[in-house]
Each structure stands twice: as structure tokens, then as C-alpha cells.
Structure 1
Amino acid sequence: MNLITKGHETQLRERLTTLGASLFARGLTTGTSGNLSVRVCDGWLMTPTNASLGTLDPDRLSKLDENGRHVGGDRPTKESLLHLALYRQRRDAGGIVHLHSTYAAAVSCMEGLDPVECVPPLTAYFAMRIGRLPLVPYYRPGDPALATAVYDLAARYHAILLANHGPIVSGTTLESAASAIEELEETAKLFLLLRGIPTRAVSGQEVSQLDHGR
């Protein structure tokens, strides 16, 4: 992993706020839901609590140090523990996106989901960008037990669906995490549209032949 120098922090602040505005404008987040984070050389930048992704101020982003302590900017999202759990398991993670996007959140409310693979690989792009999507049982937002459950899965999965909540995805960069979560949202939409219709998923053999570079 290439560590990000302090000289890039200003650029990362701008990239995070630009991405937040894009996600908000395209309806992938509403109100003050969802949160973003990016790794910097001496910790992390995160979206503040109760902040709309559509109107983020780069100078007011929360700064956390390497121990997860709030050291600058506005108070961080109450779901910062989720982000830290993923970062601590996935040393290659450069950015994380967590949304309450409509279709993925709808799937997260369904009964009878496979907890190991709650959305099947309906397309090759889902298989390449997400892989298997496990389901974490419901915990209230901000509950440390939710962060523990995410931490336990994060060594094997970079994308996780939180029951009755929404998806969280890490990537080597903030942009790759966003690209993956958008693919997840589109596949969740297909999954709901195809309910009750005989459906062919991409087979295990076909998945094994794909380029899984993210």
C-alpha cells in the first residue's frame, strides 16, 4: 500500500466532498444518511455526524488519528466504528463508502436471505467488484457490537450488507469503493425486479474465469 503524504490531504478532502455531492445528486443518499471516509498518512478523514453528503465542507471534515481519536474538524459520524473496523482488518483499504441506498437497503430488510451470499452474482461486474456479499444481523446504528460483527467478516469480505440498514464497502481508493457500492446498488435493484422470475446467476466456474482486480 502506498501511504498518502500530508501534502495530499487537501486534495483528498476535495475528492471526498466532490464524491459526496455526486452520490447525493444521483439519489444514492438522502437527507443526512450515509458516510464516507478516506485514509491519510496519520489517520483518517470522515464525514461529520448529521452532515448531508450533498453539502460537505472540506475544511470541516472530521479528522481521526491512527488510534481512532477525534483530533480535528466536526464530530465524526456515529458510524465511525464501522469504518475503523474495516480499515483495521483490511490494510489495503484506502477509502470506505457506507450508504442507505434504496435498493440495497430494501434487500437488507428481506426475510430468508443467505447470510453468506445475500445477493447472488447476477452479473459479471457484481462478481468482479463485490464478490460474495455477506449479511450482518441487525444492530442499532452506532452499536459497538455492529462494529465487532463487521470486523469479524472484514478479513474475508470488502463489502458487507447490514440488516435493516444498508451496505458498507471498502476499496483501495475512495473512488473504487464508490464504484463497487454503485454496482451493488444496481444488482440489488435487479435482484428485486427478478423476484419470482426464473433467474440465472453467473456460475461458480464462470466467476473463477473473471478478472477480480478492483
Structure 2
Amino acid sequence: MTTARRHGPDLTEAIMRTTLELGRELGYAKLSIEAIAARAGVGKHTIYRRWASKGALLLDSLLSVSPSDLDYPDTGDVLADLRQQIHEAVDLLGGAPFGPLFRALVGEAQQDPGVAAALNERFIVPQEARTVARLERAREQGQLSPDFDLELAMAVLSGPLYFRLLITQEPLTHGYVDRILDALFTGMGPRP
């Protein structure tokens, strides 16, 4: 009996799924292209034709299985919308299986400029653009001060989350998100 050969998207998906499975089992430091290739039933060259590095493969793998694209709702209440979206983000990135792998990916980005550029281009910049766009709509609706720096607001929103996720590794909780939002909106709200 012969095994059907996988090609194209099916093979790519199998390699990425295997990467995540092994990443969860072994951790990023022990994850290797050789181990991924062996478990996926492919040669190393098959992987290297698609990805330049282990970090690039992990990035694609994480982005491929995200259960949420982290888009913002627009209910007309910017604070409620931010709260919902950021709660979803911390649920995704703050716990298993994505949290440890995402932290490892950010660490890899510090050593690999290609991974850093791809992470920034494919995850950080799009998320920042969605956040700023939601804040712009809120400002247009009079929910935010017309002169508030929205890019700074994005940095203030994300900075404490990344600090906990990457530096202190304290839990990312909904309560912590709520405290950040409350503090930020005290200064961001429209002035009488």
C-alpha cells in the first residue's frame, strides 16, 4: 500500500501543524527543522524551500491557526469595543499554546532581522492599523478628544501588555486590560 503524496497547500499545512505540535511539546529552543521534517514525513529541503528559518516557519504556523483575526467590533462604544478585542488578544497570546510560542518568536526576532521584519509586517503593523482606525472612528464620533495622539494611544495600550507578556511574564488578565483602558480613557476622553 502506498501513501498518497501531499503537495502544495496540504503539505504546507501539515508542516505548520507539525511545527506547532512539536513547539508545544518541546519548546522553541529544542524545536528543530530536522524534527519537524521527520514528524511531518518530509525532507529538510522541502521545509527550507518554503521557509528561510525556524523562526519564519513558526511565524507562519502561528498566523495560520489563529482562531481570531483580532478585528475590532464597532458597536458605537469604543471603550467596550477595545475591551472586547484586547480581551480576545490576551486570551490568545497570554496562555497556552500560543503564549509561549509567541514569546519565543519575539525572542527570535531579536536575533533574526528577517523574522523581525515579517513579524512586524504581518502581525504588529496590521494590528496597530486596526487599532488606530477604530480610535479614529471613535474620535470622529466625538467619543475621544479631537487632539489626542492616536498612535501614542496605541503604544500606551500595547506597551503594558507586551511588558507583562515578554518581560515580567505575569499573567495577562482581563482585569489588567480593564485597568489599562480605564487609565488611558481618563486622559483620552472628550473634554467638556
Pair in the same fold by TM > 0.5: no
> Which of the pair has more CA radius of gyration?
2
User: When the two structures are superposed, what TM-score results if normalisation uses the length of structure 2?
Assistant: 0.28
User: When the two structures are superposed, what TM-score results if normalisation uses the length of structure 1?
Assistant: 0.26
Q: Which has the higher strand share?
A: 1
